[in-house]
Amino acid sequence: MKRAFYCGLIASITSGIFLVIFRLAAGVLTPPEVLVDIIVRLIPLNLFLLGVSTFGSSAKIILLIVLAVLFIIAGGLVGMLWHWLKRRWSWLDHRREWVVVVAVSFILWVLAMVSLVPASGKGFFGIQSQPWPAAMVLVWLLASFAYTFTFAGLFFRPPVPQPTVSEIDSSRRTFLKRLAYAGVGLILVGGVGAILWKIANSTMQMMSGTGQLSPEITPNADFYVVSKDFSPPQVDSASWKLQVTGLVDHELSLSYEQLKALPPTSFYLTLECISNEVGGTQIGNAQWKGVLLRDVMSSITVKDSVRKVVLYGADDYADSITPQKAMADDVLLAYEMNGVPVPPEHGYPVRLLVPGIYGMKNVKWLNRIDFVDQDFIGFWEQAGWSDQAVIKTMSRIDVPASASQSKPHEVLMLGGVAFAGDRGVSLVEVSTDGGKTWNTAAMKPALSPFSWVIWVYNWTPVQNDNYIIQVRATDGQGNLQSDIPTPALPDGASGYDSRLVVITPNPSPTQQ
Ligand SMILES: Nc1nc2c(c(=O)[nH]1)N[C@H]1C(S)=C(S)[C@@H](COP(=O)(O)O)O[C@H]1N2
Ligand SMILES: [Mo]
């Protein structure tokens, strides 16, 4: 058993060295790195914050080291498992053993390619990975072989006489014992995890003061509402129809049931109103489920003369998007918001979502899509708002609240959200000296290419003073958000969000 463990260990180290060589030489990501990506994206925000506040900017590296060690140990455990199986399966003679090794390498690799790799956002079999797709597929396959062949080479022995019954019994007993140890270990890890969770929740409440860090997913009840009318129109889903009309080869009328029978798509998307001022709250992130407009249109041919696609809502509201945007592969007819039917105030039964464009084009209570050969000036555009309405890169400070007080030499957590439409956020920076110097904030990777990010920065002021805290974001195309203060009308606000923080030896308790 011990020998099997050590052989497995050496094999996974060999495979690891192999992976590291390709990482350094060609930039091919290793499995622990991909796992870190997935974990950091999927863990709850509080745990992420706990990691950042405990380990600082090296939190990710520590996680990576832990995973790399686990990866090596897993190699040893697989070795032990092999040893155990081999004793049980008498058909597994010396010749067949090698066939199984090749098969196992393949299975391990396929599993990684259809689970780990897509979960990290690199597509099935890593088709979206860097530096080129085939590299990851190939290197991981070879690494899998490196593991199994090293193990086989070290561990396999030419046939020996059959073990006696008592030998099998005792090895089974030790195996069961180890299984029990592993069980106890799992329970311990779970317990420690639960305690950390508790601590994370309580530290968050302590740290947020009056300013609250935004949850990554905005609950429906807290999601901002902007509608032209005071109360939402009453739409009955049983009689609701979506009409596709205008310059199309044939018109379409779809019921709620017919729409829901089409293949569903879901994604996270942050919605922001064009009238949201710097530091404003007319922004929220939700998971939306529905049908892609492209899929609804799959049987329909649109005439070349079409210039605008007009979207009508049941509240006598209309807005338009370009045909290019309408046919893009990410425009969604949403019927669910955060796992429940879209609430009345957010557009029940169906609303449109157009990634990259401010809220007003995301028409609620949608009931007609009309293809026209003229320009169309929508409801808010008639009042002077931009028709392009491309979302500007923004960032907001949620914590601390304005005019907060804190003590010198004490860590003060700064945090908030940053958003750049469908371009994504690549960097968030914080200045504590009025914009002279900028520090990189930790950023929880976005839940989707259309989602905001949560950022945090732990700041330890040393002097008693009044500080102006500022934040700025860079989008996925490398463009820094504009620092020119501009009101929201006509094409969205710009400028940096800022907060005053007073550092004094005796903060007044009422203001924290
Ligand atoms: N039918 C209809 N759709 C609409 C509106 C409206 O008044 N009527 N307001 C728009 C505006 S200005 C914004 S910002 C978003 C807000 O969506 P929410 O209320 O779900 O947050 O909906 C858009 N869609
Ligand atoms: Mo809006």
What is d(CA 457, CA 466) in angstroms, rounded to the nearest whole number?
Answer: 18
Which ligand has the shortest distance to the CA of 338? 1
Atom of ligand 1 nearest to the CA of 224: 21
How high is the pLDDT of residue 205? 38
Residue with more model confidence, 132 or 240: 240
Residue nearest to atom 10 of ligand 1 (CA): 360
Residue nearest to atom 11 of ligand 1 (CA): 360
Atom of ligand 1 nearest to the CA of 380: 12
Atom of ligand 1 nearest to the CA of 313: 1
pLDDT in tens, 339-384: 999 999 999 999 999 999 999 999 999 999 999 999 999 999 998 8
Q: What is the dihedral of CA 112, 119, 182, 16, to 10 degrees?
A: 50
Greatest mean pLDDT among 92-101, 164-173, 174-183, 239-248 lies in 239-248
Q: How confident is the model at residue 257 (pLDDT cuts 50, 70, 90)?
A: very high
Long-range contacts of 114-123 (CB under 8 A, 24+ apart): 116/31, 116/34, 116/35, 116/38, 117/34, 119/38, 120/34, 120/35, 120/37, 120/38, 120/41, 121/37, 121/41, 122/29, 122/34
Best residue among 229, 270, 276, 362 to mutate for probing ligand 1's pocket (most ligand atoms within 8 Å of CB) is 362
Residues 426 and 475: beta-carbon distance below 8 Å: yes
Q: Say if residue 163's pLDDT is above 70.
A: no
Q: Say if residue 279's pLDDT is above 60.
A: yes
Mean pLDDT (the chain) is 86
Q: Token pair 């469908």 is at which residue?
A: 422
Residue nearest to atom 7 of ligand 1 (CA): 227
How high is the pLDDT of residue 322? 96
Distance 271 CA to ligand 1 centre (A): 10
How high is the pLDDT of residue 25? 77
Distance 371 CA to ligand 1 centre (A): 21
Find the mean pLDDT for residues 51-73. 82
What is d(CA 378, CA 360) in angstroms, rounded to the nearest whole number?
Answer: 9
Residue with more model confidence, 308 or 87: 308
SS (H, E, C) 55-121: HHHHHHHHHHHHHHHHHHHHHHHHHHHHHHHHHHCCCCCHHHHHHHHHHHHHHHHHHHHHCHHHHCC
As given in the structure block, the two tokens for residue 186 are 């799992």
Distance 397 CA to ligand 2 centre (A): 21
Find the mean pLDDT for residues 410-429. 96
pLDDT in tens, 142-154: 888 888 888 888 8
Of 194-208, 209-223, 313-327, 377-391, the least confident: 194-208
* Nearest Cα residue to 179 out of 1, 378, 404, 359: 1
How high is the pLDDT of residue 341? 97
Distance 270 CA to ligand 1 centre (A): 13
Task: Using alpha carbons, list the distances in angstroms from residue 434 to 60, 336, 443, 473.
Answer: 29, 43, 21, 16
CA angle, 379 then 384 then 390, to 5°: 85
Q: How confident is the model at residue 273 (pLDDT cuts 50, 70, 90)?
A: very high
How high is the pLDDT of residue 184? 56
Q: How confident is the model at residue 193 (pLDDT cuts 50, 70, 90)?
A: low
C-alpha 498: how far from chain center = 27
Distance 478 CA to ligand 2 centre (A): 26
Residue nearest to atom 9 of ligand 1 (CA): 227
30 Cβ neighbours under 8 A, 6+ residues apart = 16, 19, 20, 23, 68
Residue nearest to atom 6 of ligand 1 (CA): 227
Q: Token pair 């102006």 is at which residue?
A: 468
pLDDT in tens, 281-330: 999 999 999 999 999 999 999 999 999 999 999 999 999 999 999 999 99
Can you tell me whether residue 339 is helix, strand or coil?
Answer: coil
Q: Say if residue 97's pLDDT is above 80.
A: no
Q: How confident is the model at residue 166 (pLDDT cuts 50, 70, 90)?
A: low
Q: Say if residue 41's pLDDT is above 90.
A: no
As given in the structure block, the two tokens for residue 240 are 């609701």
Q: Say if residue 92's pLDDT is above 80.
A: no
Q: What is the pTM of this model?
A: 0.71
What DSSP string runs through 259-272? HHHSPPEEEEEEEE
Residue nearest to atom 5 of ligand 1 (CA): 227
Residue nearest to atom 2 of ligand 1 (CA): 364
Q: How confident is the model at residue 512 (pLDDT cuts 50, 70, 90)?
A: very low
Sign of CA dihedral 345, 346, 350, 351: positive
Q: How confident is the model at residue 158 (pLDDT cuts 50, 70, 90)?
A: low
As given in the structure block, the two tokens for residue 38 are 């997935």
Q: Say if residue 131's pLDDT is above 50.
A: yes
Which ligand has the shortest distance to the CA of 228? 1
Residue nearest to atom 19 of ligand 1 (CA): 225
DSSP 8-state code for residue 435: T
Q: Say if residue 125's pLDDT is above 90.
A: no
Which ligand has the shortest distance to the CA of 488? 2
Omega prior to 349 cis, within 30 of 0: yes
What DSSP string runs through 152-173? HHHH--S--PPPPHHHHHHHHH
Best residue among 240, 273, 353, 357 to mutate for probing ligand 1's pocket (most ligand atoms within 8 Å of CB) is 273
Atom of ligand 1 nearest to the CA of 271: 21
Q: Say if residue 80's pLDDT is above 60.
A: yes
Q: Say if residue 417's pLDDT is above 60.
A: yes
Residue nearest to atom 21 of ligand 1 (CA): 225
As given in the structure block, the two tokens for residue 285 are 């992130």
Residues 128 and 121: beta-carbon distance below 8 Å: yes
Who lines ligand 1 at CB under 6 A?
223-228, 271, 273, 313, 315, 317, 346, 359-360, 362-365, 380
Atom of ligand 1 nearest to the CA of 365: 1
Distance 273 CA to ligand 2 centre (A): 4
Q: Say if residue 203's pLDDT is above 50.
A: no
Residues 485 and 302: beta-carbon distance below 8 Å: no
Distance 361 CA to ligand 1 centre (A): 8
242 Cβ neighbours under 8 A, 6+ residues apart = 252, 253, 254, 259, 296, 333, 350, 366, 367, 368, 369
Distance 228 CA to ligand 1 centre (A): 8
Find the mean pLDDT for residues 507-512. 56
Q: How confident is the model at residue 162 (pLDDT cuts 50, 70, 90)?
A: low
Best residue among 226, 342, 346, 351 to mutate for probing ligand 1's pocket (most ligand atoms within 8 Å of CB) is 226
As given in the structure block, the two tokens for residue 86 are 């081999």
Residues 335 and 344: beta-carbon distance below 8 Å: no
As given in the structure block, the two tokens for residue 227 are 């509608």
pLDDT in tens, 436-494: 999 999 999 999 999 999 999 999 999 998 898 999 999 999 999 999 999 899 999 99
Q: Say if residue 173's pLDDT is above 70.
A: no
Can you tell me whether residue 5 is helix, strand or coil?
Answer: helix
Best residue among 360, 385, 387, 419 to mutate for probing ligand 1's pocket (most ligand atoms within 8 Å of CB) is 360
Q: What is the dihedral of CA 283, 287, 292, 296, to 10 degrees?
A: -100
Best residue among 227, 321, 352 to mutate for probing ligand 1's pocket (most ligand atoms within 8 Å of CB) is 227
